[in-house]
Structure 1
Amino acid sequence: MKKLGRNKILILGVVLGGIGGYFYWKEIGCITGNCPLKSKWQRMVPYGMFTGYIISDLIQSYWKRFKRKGEIPTR
């Protein structure tokens, strides 16, 4: 259960990425069907999940690095 708590940002990123991939396919996706990636939702949702994982992993590592130093970046 501790692993789930530590990885909640990654899980949230994967879920939001999957939802984003579905809506990208629904609203912007390929109309003609000739686009190999955007023509089917079964391909676009995992691609969105992967993208969400990469972005949330970057955010999590950035946050941990500054939290470890004791300073949260502000503008």
Structure 2
Amino acid sequence: MATKHDLTEWVIEGLNALGGEGNVAEIAQEIWERHEDDLRASGTLFYTWQYDMRWAGQNLQKAGKLTKLYRSWRLK
């Protein structure tokens, strides 16, 4: 079952698929396309995953792995 911790990896995976940079909606779409089944089977995470994805992005920024720009996120 997917957890909030998986979202960190999935954000990176989504950004890589987008060439290293994308806006939140594009990243969410990439995550959904790759992990829809995981999300549907994740219990309450299914209802919060887009919110939790933003927290994963914040944690990646604090770890120095991601830069948040005005309208997009970029891998470092």
Q: Same fold (TM over 0.5)?
A: no
**TM-score for the superposition, normalised by structure 2:** 0.36
| Greater helix proportion | 1
When the two structures are superposed, what TM-score results if normalisation uses the length of structure 1? 0.36
Q: Which has the larger radius of gyration?
A: 1
